A and B are shown apart, each in its own frame.
Chain A
């Protein structure tokens, strides 16, 4: 499968615990994005990388959230001290700079439930 993959697909955790999600983009894509989607809403942008550089962060990304893309390939999103309000689907997408004016390819998402 040469699409965007995310791991894990589901995560249940207790409030206060830390969680980490991984995203593997399409191999030749240099841009990687994280979005969050709550029930009944459209996805909301969190952050994006071009290669290993984090170029933009949303105000939604509180200081409990950190994202990395150390070698410009896979990315991780960590949430520290999780809260019930963090329960959502976390979506990763990738794209090629200069390609198709912004078409992004999405992974299947990681569904987080904070108890």
Chain B
């Protein structure tokens, strides 16, 4: 079963704009990760944030985590057409072993 929901389900923006995606989850986590998936292909790990961290940056990516609200957001700044993809949050649950539990994903389209 999916861990939670991502919002929005689809997002269309112009190149150069920022894109924000939100993820909610249901149970206690060890960490939360964001992955990107280009159409019909495998997933690429983007960034990982631990449960005791609140914010993390990696290049044009900024991730926040609010464990009290069980939510996370991914911000992509100065988006490019190459950022067009589906983005998934995934959690490692507390006591859940090593498996990833994914959200439902946000489809991002960046138009020229």
State the CA gap A101–B91 with chains docked (Å).
11
Q: How far is the CB of A5 from chain B (nearest CB, A)?
A: 10
Say whether A72 faces chain B, with CB atoms less than 8 Å apart: no
Contact (Cβ within 8 A) B99 A48: yes
Interface flags for A35-69 (1: CB within 8 Å of B; 0: not) read 10000111111001000000110100000000000
Task: Report chain A residues within 8 Å CB of B104.
Answer: 40-42
Say whether B78 faces chain A, with CB atoms less than 8 Å apart: no
Q: Which of A41, A58, A102 contacts B98 (CB 8 A)?
A: A102
Interface residues on A, range: 20 to 34
Total number of residue pairs linking A and B with CB closer than 8 Å: 73
Contact (Cβ within 8 A) A45 B99: yes
Contact (Cβ within 8 A) B42 A44: no
Task: Report chain A residues within 8 Å CB of B62.
Answer: none
Contact (Cβ within 8 A) A103 B45: yes
* Closest residue on chain A to residue B90 by CB atoms: A42
Q: How far is the CB of B25 from chain A (nearest CB, A)?
A: 12
Contact (Cβ within 8 A) B31 A42: no
Instruction: Report B63-112 residues with CB < 8 Å from chain A CB.
Output: 88, 90, 92, 97-105
Contact (Cβ within 8 A) A102 B48: yes
Interface flags for A102-113 (1: CB within 8 Å of B; 0: not) read 111111110100
State the CA gap A100–B88 with chains docked (Å).
18
Contact (Cβ within 8 A) B43 A101: no
Contact (Cβ within 8 A) B99 A56: yes
Most buried by A among B2, B33, B45: B45
Q: A56-B97, A101-B48 are in contact. Are A42 and B42 (CB under 8 A)?
A: no
Say whether A33 faces chain B, with CB atoms less than 8 Å apart: yes
Interface residues of B (CB under 8 A from A): 1-2, 30-31, 33, 35, 40-45, 48, 50, 88, 90, 92, 97-105
Interface residues of A (CB under 8 A from B): 4, 31, 33, 35, 40-45, 48, 55-56, 58, 89, 91, 93, 95, 97, 100-109, 111
